[in-house]
Amino acid sequence: MKRYFLLSAFAFCSLALSAQETQEITLNEAIALARTQSVDAAVALNELETAYWEYRTFRADLLPEVNFSGTLPSYSKQYNSYQNEDGSYSFVRSNKLGLNGALSIDQNIWFTGGKVSLSSSLDFMKQLGSGGSRQFMSVPIALQLTQPIFGVNNLKWNRRIEPVRYEEAKAAFITATETVTMNAITYFFNLLSAKETLGTARQNQVNADRLYEVAGAKRKMGQISENELLQLKLAALKARAAVTDAESNLNAHYVPFAFFPGHRKRPDTGTCGTGIGSNLKMEYNQVLNKALERNSFAHNIRRRQLEAEYEVATARGNLRSVDLFANVGYTGLNKDLSPAYHNLLDNQVVEVGVKIPILDWGKRRGKVRVAKSNRDVTLSKIKKEQMDFDQDIFLLVEHFNNQAQQLSIANEADKIAQQRYKTSVETFLIGKINTLDLNDAQNSKDDARQKHINELYWYWYYYYQLRSLTLWDFQNNTSLEADFEDIVKNNCVFVLFKQEGCWFQTNASLVLNQEVLPFKPTYLWF
């Protein structure tokens, strides 16, 4: 894509680096470090892991479950009360050994909310002591059904809600990585601005000292007044003070920039390269449609609507309760194991449990009305949030498109201000302008440079805001996608690699269109 915004090389690029070893870091690299090493990135990854395993647990509830239960062994030696034929009680000593085991396959039925189980079991009991008997009881196969006739079907509602909740979490994760990017951009440009301020202050000090020396010679020749000479001396002193302030400000911005991505090396006051923006214009309807389709907000709205309806269904289901239980199977009894599986006898159990409140003073119906009222409140809030969301998208698109023009103007103004100052210095040296005009040119130069950096920052900040809301790369016209299972299993978000001198980020699964940023690197020295 055509690129036209150019942040010109800074005036202090020619300054010598300090003797200590330095490491070049670009904005691409700063963002990549933030996405892989910052605390914010770790939090986003942990939240994704939680959502992933919650969704896996939900999916497991829909699959068959195989269970084994048993007692191996069960020994009992105690006295128990026993009622005689005449109604009297006596204590009888029991000394027995028991073994039992059961294997079952259980399956939840999501569309009815019931549960069906297929099981097989074997029990053994032996009386210990002289003359003790033993017996096996087998249930080779039994089929059991538990089914609520009325009431809420939790499985059915979970099947509707949980996938939406997981989609919301996935979208929130990608949004979080874009938010980390915006934070990294903020820290980077804050430091970049501080470095530019220091470089400008040092250059201004050099120029002020030079002009003061020239003015001293001109004063001796009577070409300028004593007042003008003192003004230049005062300007030189102010320039020295500005350098001290700029150095302190730069040190203050080192800390958040270094600690945010987890980079502990101290940056040096070195050079910075160029940053290039792109001729990109956003369309409101396109951005809004992408946001409504892909943003976690859209999934959040759907989830809250379903949860509100679920609460109403739950309250209605609690008005009455009818449950069906059925069990059919075969049973065998014998003192030996093998015959216990012969001559089987069938057994059946059918139960219908009913619970209908006769008098509850309207408590359950009141809960239904409360649930309906809460649902209406939720829907009203959602409607208001949707309106605010649409409005925020509109304003953000307007800000971005306007920022592109502001950046272009700032770029041109920076060039003009730098040239004007250079011309003013030359003109002052030949006595064509006074110190007031020279100071005005210098102030304009410094302001233009800072404004250029500031406009460049807002341009990319607005761009990544739009990316975070739409989960769409407008530069390459592709979606921001990820293989979330691979991310969770590997506990890793990004891998860095270098190609043709530029840093990129990817991994086996997470694809953010390969190129990290839609512009050439801006450099800082570490």
Check residue 514 and give its pLDDT.
Answer: 34
Tell whether 82 is covered by a domain.
Answer: yes
Instruction: Give the whole-angstrom CA distance, residue 119 versus residue 122.
Output: 11
Is residue 494 a contact partner of residue 32, using CB atoms and an 8 Å limit? yes
- 407 token code pair: 């950046």
386 pLDDT band (50/70/90 cuts)? very high
Q: What is the pLDDT of residue 135?
A: 92
Q: Is residue 335's pLDDT more than 80?
A: yes
pLDDT at 2: 30
pTM over 0.85: no
The rounded mean pLDDT for the chain is: 80
Q: Are 293 and 167 in contact (CB under 8 A)?
A: no
**201 plus 226 within the same structural domain:** yes
- Dist. CA 444–CA 176, nearest whole Å: 39
Task: Please return the burial class of 425, using the count of CB atoms within 10 Å of its CB with bins 0-12, 13-18 and 19+.
Answer: middle
The pLDDT value recorded for residue 144 is: 92
Alpha-carbon span 128 to 220, nearest angstrom:
127
- Position 493 confidence tier, pLDDT thresholds 50, 70, 90: low
User: Predicted confidence band at 523 (pLDDT cuts at 50, 70, 90)?
Assistant: very low
Report pLDDT for 492: 60
Of 288, 344, 27, 313, give the one whose Cα is nearest residue 151: 313
Assess whether 165 and 23 both reside in one domain: yes
Nearest-10 Cα torsion for 38, 40, 46, 47: -160
Position 367 in a domain: no
In a domain, 511, yes or no: yes
Would you say residue 417 lies in a domain? no
Q: Give me the pLDDT at residue 225, please.
A: 84
Higher pLDDT, 493 or 516: 493
Shared-domain flag, residues 196 and 137: no
pLDDT of residue 389: 93
Residue 362 maps to a domain: no
User: What's residue 130's pLDDT?
Assistant: 74
Q: Residue 483 pLDDT > 80, yes or no?
A: no
What does DSSP assign to residue 93?
A: E
> Minimum mean pLDDT among 167-181, 216-230, 331-345: which range?
216-230
The pLDDT confidence band at residue 141, using thresholds 50, 70 and 90, is: very high
Question: Strand, helix or coil at 88?
Answer: coil
CB 361 within 8 A of CB 160: no
Q: Answer yes or no: is 410 within a domain.
A: no
Q: What is the pLDDT of residues 272-331, one digit of tens each?
A: 333 344 578 899 999 999 999 889 998 999 999 999 999 999 998 888 888 889 999 989
pLDDT, residue 381, reads: 93
Give the pLDDT mean for 223-249. 88
Same domain assignment for residues 176 and 248: yes
Give the three-state DSSP class for 483: coil
pLDDT given at position 518: 36
- Do 266 and 21 form a contact (C-beta atoms < 8 A)? no
What ranges make up the beta strands (E) of 240-311?
Answer: none
Same domain, 21 and 167: yes
Stronger pLDDT, 258 or 276, i.e. the higher one: 258
Tell me: pLDDT of 15 over 70: no
Q: Tell me, what's the pLDDT at 266? A: 43
Same domain, 182 and 200: yes
In the prediction, which pLDDT does 82 show? 83
167 has which bridge partners?
A: none
Please compute the mean of the pLDDT values over residues 190-196 and round it to a whole number.
84
Q: Tell whether the model's pLDDT for residue 9 goes beyond 70.
A: no
Encode pLDDT of 33-55 as tens digits: 787 777 888 888 888 899 999 99
Spell out the alpha helix ranges (H) of 347-483.
363-429, 435-470
Quickly state the pLDDT bin for 262 (edges 50, 70, 90): low
Do 188 and 257 share a structural domain?
Answer: yes
Would you say residue 276 lies in a domain? Answer: yes
Summarised one tens digit per residue, pLDDT across range 58-108 is: 999 899 999 999 988 888 888 888 888 888 898 888 888 999 999 999 999
Task: Kindly state whether residues 172 and 35 are assigned to the same domain.
Answer: yes
What's the confidence (pLDDT) of residue 162?
A: 93
As a whole number, mean pLDDT of residues 400-429 equals 89
Round to whole Å and give the CA distance between 13 and 11: 6
Q: Does 457 map to a domain?
A: no
pLDDT at 369: 92
The verdict on 146 and 250 lying in the same domain is no
One-letter identity of residue 75: Y
Please give the share of the chain, as a percent, with pLDDT higher than 70: 85
Residues of the domain holding 86 = 72-109+114-152+321-355
Residue 492, φ and ψ in degrees, nearest 5: -145, 145
Give yes or no: residues 46 and 136 share one domain.
no
Residues 88 and 204 reside in one and the same domain: no
Q: For position 291, what pLDDT does the model report?
A: 92
174 with 262, same domain?
yes
Is 244 a residue whose pLDDT tops 80? yes
Instruction: Provide the domain count of the chain.
Output: 2
